[in-house]
Amino acid sequence: IKSPGVWAMTLAHAANNWGLYNSLSWTPTFYAEQYGLNVKESAFLSVLPSVAGAIGGIVAGSVADKIIVSLNSNLKENDTMDSVSISTNVRKTFQAIALFGPGLCLLTLSSHIPDQPLTAQALLTGTVGLQAFNAAGYGAATQEKAGEKWSGLLYSITSLPGVMFGSLGVYVTGQILDATSQDWSIVWGLTGCINILGAL
């Protein structure tokens, strides 16, 4: 609990979950309310972001691992970097992508809700696809930081506040929509800002 790394992973997990839970819970409603689409059409547009998320997580994990192996194989005795520092820097970089990328997509969406649902879908697909880079960020960092014996416990410690914050995000989003006559710009802007803050 005193570790800055654990706090960083916990905050990244919380910011990520706010965005992920809102995307999963509210995107079909966004399509229905903003574009007048029925449930079937809304569901269809909501599938591509999930596919992008699955692909993004696999790609990010594979690329991060290859970078770490490559950098470790080039280490020399006199290098100031060690394998732990290399892994930490790669994990931080991928986690930054997983929060800054979605933040920028959502701030773009919030600045002007597009007239066409496919444009909004592209931004939301980018959001979820980039968000999945957390698989190579805090998702993998907990295993490296705690080791095999304690990685599950560390992930649980970072996950509990993340789940609570993500669930709070779903509730707050509903309250914002009710209070603003369904102003989605505020919802996407707030979520984008939380992603950016989580990356800092």
Q: Give the model's pLDDT for residue 41.
A: 81
Q: In which region does residue 116 sit, left (phi positive, over 0), alpha (psi from -120 to 50) or beta (all else)?
A: beta
- Can you give the pTM of this predicted structure? 0.83
Task: Indicate if the alpha-carbon torsion angle 130, 54, 56, 86 is positive or negative.
Answer: positive
Q: Which residues contact 81 (CB under 8 A, 6 or more apart)?
A: 71, 75
Average pLDDT score, the chain = 85
**pLDDT tens readout for residues 27-76:** 888 988 888 888 788 877 888 888 999 999 999 989 998 988 888 887 77
Both structure tokens of 85: 């520092």
Separation between Cα atoms, residue 27 and residue 59, nearest integer Å: 24
Q: Give the model's pLDDT for residue 78.
A: 59
Nearest to 191 by CA among 114, 132, 128: 128
**What is the amino acid identity at position 153?**
L
Q: Give the model's pLDDT for residue 63.
A: 92
C-alpha angle 130/68/200, rounded to 5°?
A: 45
Q: How many helices (H) and strands (E) does the chain have?
A: 6, 0
Any idea which residue has 């960092």 for tokens? 141
Q: Which residues contact 95 (CB under 8 A, 6 or more apart)?
A: 12, 133, 134, 136, 137, 138, 141, 199
Please measure the distance between the N-terminal and C-terminal CA atoms of the chain and give it in whole angstroms.
19
**pLDDT tens readout for residues 134-193:** 888 766 666 666 667 776 777 777 778 888 888 999 999 999 999 998 899 999 999 999
Taking 90 as the threshold, does the pLDDT of residue 87 lie above it? no
Backbone φ and ψ of 93, nearest 5°: -65, -45
